Amino acid sequence: MAGPSIDALGQFTLTPGLGPVGRALGFTNSNEAMLASALIIIGLFAAGLSARALVPGRLQSLVEMLYEFVHNMCVDTIGEEGRRFFPLVFTIFSFILLGNLLGLFPYFFAFTSHIAVTLALALFVFLFSTGVGFYTHGLGFLRFFVPAGVPGWLLPLLIPIEIISYLSRPVSLSVRLFANMTAGHVMWEVFAGFMLMLTAGLGVLGAIAAIIPLGLNVALAALELLVAGLQAYVFAILTCLYLHDAVHMH
């Protein structure tokens, strides 16, 4: 095909970041975005905590709202024990949220669209919650895989199902985030590429027609903003849910 073609996946290519130092240390462009996310979070806290006013300003309100949102999510989902896991859940939630949101900006790498990243996060959550389960209940945590109130002859069937469903948690957790972010960015790229193709193929007429994919991209931007927040929330609430299972076993 002559002229521009749609390279929807090139945006996900990893390249060394931070110049020659990054090249030597394997620091990638996705790590740059991660660093930016972490710095923005810490900067937000530093700015929000500078006044410590009784009646908060905007930034302080933002930080307090984030805090209370995640704190309530932890306590409501996990219970009183959720306070112990609150810093962890907050770190994961804010990191993913900032990653999703930063990824929406041009030139920013959406690191949550990499399965290696989301799988690592999901595996950590899975292993951590399983560890909490065994730490809290000892080997009794294995009873979690025995559904209560089920006739005995069904157990040989149900226990493997329970175990498989438990083991599939990190897969669903990671693929959900990865697929959502990838799909959104691919669609954006496709529509943007389609605008170029229309213009190159049909000239002025094509440029006018390109308004349609442009409008779609504008609508997509709103949708992706929603998805960015929603997927971070879903990841965090599922983390809380898994921790709830580990702590309460039901």
**Can you give the binding site for another protein, defined by CB under 8 A?**
6-10, 12-16, 25-28, 30-31, 34-35, 38, 41-42, 45, 48-49, 52, 54, 56, 60, 63-64, 67-68, 86-88, 90-91, 94-95, 111, 113-117, 120, 178, 182-183, 186-187, 190-191, 193-194, 209, 212-213, 216
> Does residue 16 sit in helix, strand or coil?
strand
CB of 11 or CB of 136, closer to another protein: 11
Q: How far is the CB of 173 from another protein (least distance, A)?
A: 16
Whole-number minimum distance, CB 207 to another protein, in Å?
Answer: 13
Four-residue CA torsion sign, 111, 100, 174, 134: positive
Rank residues 34 and 132 by Cβ distance to another protein and give the closer one.
34
Closest CB to another protein among 53 and 148? 53
Contact present, 185 and 11 (Cβ < 8 Å): yes
Of 163 and 211, the one with the shorter C-beta distance to another protein is 211
Q: 73: which residues sit within 8 A by CB, 6+ positions away?
A: 89, 93, 236, 237, 240
* Chain CA centroid to CA 107, Å: 19
Query: 72 and 82 in contact (C-beta within 8 Å)?
Result: no
Number of H helices, E strands in the chain: 8, 0
Shortest reach from residue 44's CB to another protein, in Å: 9
What does the alpha-carbon distance between residue 137 and residue 102 come to, in Å, rounded to a whole number? 40
Beta bridge partners of 28: 16
| Residue 109 Cβ vs another protein, minimum distance, rounded to whole Å | 10
Question: Residue 214 or residue 249: which is nearer to another protein going by CB?
Answer: 214
Angle subtended at Cα 53 by Cα 52 and Cα 56, rounded to the nearest 5 degrees: 105
Least Cβ distance, residue 8 to another protein (angstroms): 5
Closest to another protein by CB, 7 or 76: 7
- Cα 132 to Cα 170: distance, rounded to the nearest angstrom: 16
**Residue 196 near residue 4, CB atoms below 8 Å:** yes
Tokens of 220: 């997509």
> What is the smallest separation between the CB atom of 119 and another protein, expressed in angstroms?
9
